[in-house]
Amino acid sequence: MTFEELKEILTNIKAHYQNFAIYDYVVEEWYKVLKDYEYDDVMESLVDHLTSDNSNELPKAYQLVKYLTSKDLKKKCENNRYIVSCNLCDRWMSLDKFDKHYDKCLHEFGRKFKNTKRV
Ligand SMILES: [Zn+2]
């Protein structure tokens, strides 16, 4: 997103959380985290937060992009034509990486599941 778009998002947060102070260092830090993501995606995350049970807590930059796909990755996936999500860990990736990932993820998942069962 652009710097202007970031400012719009921060103003939006300020509208809902009066305690949120937009200092220069806050803007810089948020920009570091959000610049690789698209405005619309982050805005959607923000609305999700505002309508969630945690809406009384100030949203954090990292929290807003946690489940988003960065612009770079989106582009890469466009170039590879297909993007898929792993149903075990919810990560997004291009199709050519999926097989390898899925084997690894399934192994991890199996281990986690076994550990949970033992407890
Ligand atoms: Zn996975």
pLDDT in tens, 52-73: 999 999 999 999 998 888 888 8
Q: What is the mean pLDDT of residues 83-90?
A: 87
Confidence grade of residue 51 (pLDDT, cut at 50, 70, 90): very high
Higher pLDDT, 34 or 77: 34
| pLDDT computed for residue 46 by the predictor | 97
Cα(69) to centroid of ligand 1, in Å? 15
How many residues are present in the chain?
A: 119
φ and ψ of 90, to 5 deg: 70, 15
What residue spans define the domains of the chain? Answer: 3-68, 73-114
φ and ψ of 38, to 5 deg: -90, 145
Whether CATH 1.10.3210 fits 3-68: no
Contacts made by residues 17-26, CB under 8 angstroms, sequence distance 24+: 17/58, 19/58, 20/58
Cα(95) to centroid of ligand 1, in Å? 12
Cα(3) to centroid of ligand 1, in Å? 33
Q: Quick check: 117 pLDDT over 60?
A: no
Q: Quick check: 118 pLDDT over 70?
A: no
Higher pLDDT, 6 or 113: 6
| pLDDT computed for residue 81 by the predictor | 67
* CATH architecture label of 73-114: 2-Layer Sandwich (3.30)
Q: Quick check: 112 pLDDT over 80?
A: no
| pLDDT computed for residue 26 by the predictor | 95
- Pick left, alpha or beta for residue 112 (phi over 0 → left; psi -120 to 50 → alpha; otherwise beta): alpha
Cα(84) to centroid of ligand 1, in Å? 10
Higher pLDDT, 7 or 83: 7
